[in-house]
């Protein structure tokens, strides 16, 4: 898989990629990541990428020309193009799974108050990682790259880890324990020591439902709506 990122903060992404799962995937030849500062596609001595919006209003907008020229020069038009913005569709596990099926992604990181609408019009989709505002989209790009990379076959030492992660089946993850069996007065639940895989699976499912009902009832509602649609 190849991911190209258009950003004004290349160095922060470089540092991140050098120390996480994406870096290991790159070393293994499973992932190629290109980081591109679209300020390089400006033509004035101040390397200006933003300007005030027509019609007035606070803040500055990213200009279309540097971004379009970057797409031209880097031949990124055929990639699946994503713009990161708080007004995009919410990012979740299913979105990460869908994106991992693409051979080539292009991620545009926003900054300032937004970007010229003509840029947004040529994107394939807009994605938000949450209902809050970040100082720039590079942080969101890190989240998406990490989530998508985990789903590339061969990236994890045990692919079952990705398949069993939280949200894979629409529910939160069940509690897990390791040695010792007792620590500071807290014991591992007996069912996990029983060796009875059927009982263990039942206990884990019950805990998933219990935790999801307590912390994320919206996920249960979503599952029920999907069942109705089917």
CATH number for the domain spanning 28: value is 3.40.1280.10
Which residue out of 113, 126, 169, 173 is catalytically annotated?
Answer: 113
Largest CA distance in the chain: 71
Domain end among 149, 174, 199: 149
14 and 78 co-located in one domain: yes
**Bond prior to 68 in cis (omega within 30° of 0):** no
6 and 114 co-located in one domain: yes
- Confidence check: pLDDT of 164 > 70: no
**159 located within any domain:** no
Domain end among 88, 116, 149: 149
- Residue 179 near residue 192 (C-beta atoms within 8 A): no
pTM of the model: 0.86
Helix (H) or strand (E) holding 80: strand 80-90
**154 located within any domain:** no
**161 located within any domain:** no
134 and 203 co-located in one domain: no
Domain end among 87, 114, 149: 149
- Confidence check: pLDDT of 58 > 90: no
For position 138, what pLDDT does the model report?
94
- Confidence check: pLDDT of 159 > 60: no
Q: Given pLDDT bands bounded at 50, 70 and 90, which one contains residue 84? A: very high
Domain around 13: 2-149
Average pLDDT score over residue span 26-41: 97
14 and 77 co-located in one domain: yes
| CATH, residue 193 | 1.10.1270.20
Domain total for the chain?
2
3, exposed or middle or buried, with CB in 10 Å at 0-12, 13-18, 19+? Answer: buried
Q: Which residue has the higher pLDDT, 2 or 158?
A: 2
Residue with tokens 């990490």: 146
Calculate the average pLDDT of the chain: 92
15 and 96 co-located in one domain: yes
For position 158, what pLDDT does the model report?
58
Check if 86 is active-site: yes
Which residue out of 50, 66, 116, 150 is catalytically annotated?
Answer: 150
Helix (H) or strand (E) holding 202: helix 197-215
Check if 165 is active-site: yes
Check if 206 is active-site: no
224 and 124 co-located in one domain: no
For position 137, what pLDDT does the model report?
92
Which residue out of 92, 146, 165, 169 is catalytically annotated?
Answer: 165
* pLDDT, tens only, 108-133: 998 877 899 999 999 999 999 999 88
Check if 120 is active-site: no
Q: Which of 64, 38, 55 is nearest to 122 (CA)?
A: 64
**16 located within any domain:** yes
* pLDDT, tens only, 17-29: 988 899 999 999 9
Which residue out of 24, 39, 53, 86 is catalytically annotated?
Answer: 86
């Amino acid at each position: 898989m190849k991911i190209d990122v258009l950003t004004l903060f290349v160095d922060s992404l470089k540092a991140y990629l050098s120390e996480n799962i994406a870096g290991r995937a790159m070393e293994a030849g499973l992932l190629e990541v290109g980081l591109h500062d679209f300020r390089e596609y400006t033509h004035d001595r101040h390397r200006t990428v933003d300007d005030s919006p027509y019609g007035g209003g606070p803040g500055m907008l990213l200009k279309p020309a540097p971004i379009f020229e970057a797409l031209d020069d880097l031949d990124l038009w055929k990639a699946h193009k994503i713009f990161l913005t708080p007004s995009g569709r919410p990012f979740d596990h299913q979105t990460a799974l869908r994106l991992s099926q693409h051979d080539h992604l292009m991620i545009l990181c926003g900054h300032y108050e937004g970007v010229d609408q003509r840029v947004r019009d040529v994107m394939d989709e807009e994605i938000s990682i949450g209902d809050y505002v970040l100082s720039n989209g590079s942080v969101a790009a890190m989240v998406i790259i990490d989530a998508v990379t985990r789903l590339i076959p061969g990236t994890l030492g045990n692919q079952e880890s990705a398949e069993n992660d939280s949200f894979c089946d629409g529910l939160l993850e069940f509690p897990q324990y390791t040695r010792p069996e007792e620590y500071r007065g807290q014991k591992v639940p007996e069912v996990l020591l029983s060796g009875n895989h059927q009982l263990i699976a039942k206990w884990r499912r019950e805990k998933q439902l219990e935790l999801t009902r307590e912390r994320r009832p919206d996920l249960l509602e979503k599952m029920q709506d999907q069942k109705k649609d089917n």
